[in-house]
Amino acid sequence: MTAIEPGRVVAVVGTGTMGQGIAQVALVAGHPVRLYDAVPGRAEQAATTLAGRLDRLVEKGRLDAVARDAARARLHPARDLAELADAALVVEAVLEELSVKRELFAALEDIVADDCLLATNTSSLSVTAVAGALRHPGRFVGLHFFNPAPLLPLVEVVSGFATDETAAERTHATALTWGKTPVRCADTPGFVVNRVARPFYAEALRVYEERAADPATIDAVLRECGGFRMGPFELTDLIGQDVNEAVTRSVWESFFQDPKFTPSLAQRRLVESGRLGRKSGRGWYAYGEDAPKAAAHTAEPEKAPASVIVQGELFAADALPGLIEEAGIGVTREDDAVSGCPGWIELSDGTRLFLADGSAADDAGMPVIHFDLALDYREATRIALAPAARVAEAALKEAIGLFQALGKDVSVIGDIPGLIVARTVAMLVDFALDAAARHVAAPEDIDLAMRLGVNYPRGPLDWGDRLGARWALDTLEALHEEYPTGRYAPSQALRRLAAAQEDDES
């Protein structure tokens, strides 16, 4: 399908941060751009701001002066919707209220030509519902940019229930010519990124609400052990607590209050208190020149054991025995563990260290310490440990010293099932598999969207392939037993994949 030609007009309605960003993208791609805002004078202000942005691109060497001058000549603020009549594409970036958007597009339908594509940048509303009042909803699509639009490459191209395939394909092709990385997806709550990403925030909030760890420690473990670019508490402070909580609540309500998407009461209280994050000067963390920097809980240095016993296979943590040996600690390998079941690392007093499996350490009925999942145990700089109540203080110190000898900072947290990284990754894998099974998007597009849209270190489907569906299934089934609310009930897609993988191995 042919993209909209660069000489055709692109109109942007709504001149806030997102609207200006989308306008800049279209402008730099060579389109004449018309800006409209219902508030008098806003379009002119936005045009002035955009001209300044173009100047800064020249200063940074990202645009030459000739191209800047040509772009300025193509930029026109509009005082009336009628001035958008010759647009080939109109992108809306106004208030996230269904009635406002529907009224706008009903008016636009009477103005633009029949071949003009109409697009909404909504992140939380149904594309189908926005287009519901149109006479010709086939040309209507979702075109969801991520903020800041000029910098972030991902764009979700969303097909509503009535969207024509040709309209979606042309929108996709146009986004490609704009230098973006578009992914096609169906009109389901949260589309791809905001749907699949919910556990990243929700599980961290759950760990906090159960007082197993503080925000700074949770963030540090997800960054330094899980490999995520930012922790969920610092990221939601950046996004805005009100914005993140509203998206979570919208997805939850759209899924008829499915417990898998349940919002956090702790986050709701934060919003109610006006602590919205960086923009208000305080969220989970305090901001400002004199604000103290929150520090993760890190254990004091302890002596490493002279040797350990490794029983059976450690599966996702199979790199650890080699790292322990490299650190100069003796490793005796034994095979007393049941075949196919997770093995463990045994300390001098018999205390066993298991990879987090979704159960609480106390459930084992013996001295057990759970350690968290890492993206890469060699590269990870922090590990979380959760000891059972019956673990002796000396054994805990020995476990701390063991991981410190591997060059890791150690955070000792409460005995919470699944710890931090393991429960988060298991849920992300399950959500992504469920989305793929329901044809929300192609599997490769789901992984691409999560890597580009929220900077995950690995696509969740790829991560699941590396860990194995059985690992994710076992982790979630154990969590479901601990919390029998339905929140952790594994999807049918995960169950089927685990069964298929087991058949292939047999």
CB contact at 8 A, 294 and 215: yes
Q: Is 143 helix (H, G, I), strand (E, B) or coil?
A: strand
User: Is 439 labeled as catalytic in the residue annotation?
Assistant: no
User: Is 99 labeled as catalytic in the residue annotation?
Assistant: no
Strand partners, 76: 34
What are the backbone angles phi and psi of residue 385, rounded to the nearest 5°?
Answer: -120, 140
Do you know the residue count of the chain? 506
CA 208, 296, 281 angle in degrees (round to 5)?
Answer: 75
User: Is 59 labeled as catalytic in the residue annotation?
Assistant: no
H runs (alpha helix) in 131-279: 165-177, 193-196, 198-209, 215-224, 232-239, 241-254, 265-272
Q: Which amino acid is at 125?
A: L
CA dihedral of 355, 357, 360, 363, whole degrees rounded to 10: -100
Of 156, 245, 302, 398, catalytic: 156
Of 144, 254, 398, 477, catalytic: 144
> Encoding tokens for residue 326?
């490299």
> Encoding tokens for residue 358?
């979704």
Q: Which amino acid is at 412?
A: V
- For residue 471, count other CB atoms closer than 10 A to its CB: 23
User: Is 302 labeled as catalytic in the residue annotation?
Assistant: no
Our measurement of the distance from residue 177's CA atom to the centroid of its chain's CA atoms, rounded to an integer in Å, reads 26
> Encoding tokens for residue 396?
């805990």
CA–CA dist 119, 140 (Å, integer): 6
Our measurement of the distance from residue 429's CA atom to the centroid of its chain's CA atoms, rounded to an integer in Å, reads 12
Instruction: Give the chain's count of helices (H) and strands (E).
Output: 19, 15
Give Cα separations from 395 to 62, 92, 344, 385 (angstroms).
Answer: 57, 60, 15, 12
Of 121, 123, 244, 491, catalytic: 123
The closest of 372, 352, 373, 374 to 363, measured between CA atoms, is 352
> Encoding tokens for residue 17?
């941060």
First and final CA of the chain: distance in angstroms?
45
CA–CA dist 282, 275 (Å, integer): 5
The closest of 498, 506, 500 to 470, measured between CA atoms, is 498
> Encoding tokens for residue 229?
């670019």
> Encoding tokens for residue 283?
């969220």
Strand partners, 75: 33
Active site residues: 123, 144, 156, 194
